[in-house]
Amino acid sequence: MDFNFDIIWGYLPLFLRGTLYTIGFSIASIVLGSILGLGIGFGRMLKNPLWRWPFDVYVNIFRGTPLYVQILIVHFGLVPLFYGSTNALISGVVALSLNSAAYAAEIFRAGIQSVDSGQREAALSLGMTRRQSMRFVVLPQAIKRMVPAFGNEFIVLVKDSSLLALVAAPEIMYWGNTMKGQYMRIWEPYLTAAVIYFILTYSLNKLLAYIERRM
């Protein structure tokens, strides 16, 4: 195998820029997805089936369809509808956030429901309102149990962001495909991208393990 390091060095600044975009897409998507997912998670816990139905539909649609398809629909359909034209950066954040929200909703729902109901009842018996019992008693306990799941979701987002190369978002795989197209070589661009993704996910795994130990 003839491996040419010179073309890698030439593209290294672009790969580093793509890494920053990948991290940015992932952070923005996990934050926005968590905010949206919290509301959906509470909606999934409503007792009234009619009120719960829209939240169930959202989760089932986004967990039951490929992210590949979701990105294309958002980029060529949803974003032009509201923004007037396609925009890879906006499409990337929106598509990843909407997808992440469906998984975050299930993480929130499972984490909250894992806290013993006696905790909530004890808080209510002490004079707390339902909102106070959720904020000061249930959520602090649930969040600790959600940390591993959210850490895994963030790692998945980092890897899934590679699909944004479909819409020319300038992340890691975009530059890998650009290098491949320019030099008509396979090993250098894709092995370089693989190494960068491995470094990112390995570092996140170590950080997640540290946070779990601290908590």
On average, the pLDDT of the chain sits at 92
**Which tens digits make up the pLDDT trace of 59-113?**
999 999 999 999 999 999 999 998 888 899 999 999 999 999 999 999 999 998 8
What pLDDT is stored for residue 44 in this prediction? 94
Which parts of 84-214 are beta strand (E)? none
Q: Give the residue, 12 or 132, on which the prediction is more confident.
A: 12
**How many Å apart are CA 54 and CA 41, to the nearest integer?**
12
- Per-residue pLDDT, averaged over 113-138, amounts to 82
**Which tens digits make up the pLDDT trace of 185-206?**
999 999 999 999 999 999 999 9
Which parts of the chain are beta strand (E)? none
Domain count, the chain: 1
Host domain of residue 176: 5-214
Q: 116 pLDDT exceeds 70?
A: yes
Strand (E) or helix (H) holding 2: none
What pLDDT is stored for residue 35 in this prediction? 95
To which residue do tokens 């030099």 refer? 183
Q: 117 pLDDT exceeds 80?
A: no
- Per-residue pLDDT, averaged over 4-33, amounts to 94
**How many Å apart are CA 161 and CA 25, to the nearest integer?**
7
What is the percent of the chain where pLDDT is above 70? 100
What pLDDT is stored for residue 3 in this prediction? 81
Compute CA distances 200 → 112, 180, 203, whole Å.
30, 22, 5
Q: Using 50, 70 and 90 to split pLDDT, how confident is the model at 50?
A: very high
Q: Using 50, 70 and 90 to split pLDDT, how confident is the model at 142?
A: confident
Looking up residue 140, the CATH number of its domain turns out to be: 1.10.3720.10
Residues with Cβ within 8 Å of 205's Cβ and at least 6 positions away in sequence, in order, are 151, 155
Give the pTM. 0.91
Q: 176 pLDDT exceeds 90?
A: yes
**Which tens digits make up the pLDDT trace of 25-39?**
999 999 999 999 999
- As given in the structure block, the two tokens for residue 86 are 């396609």
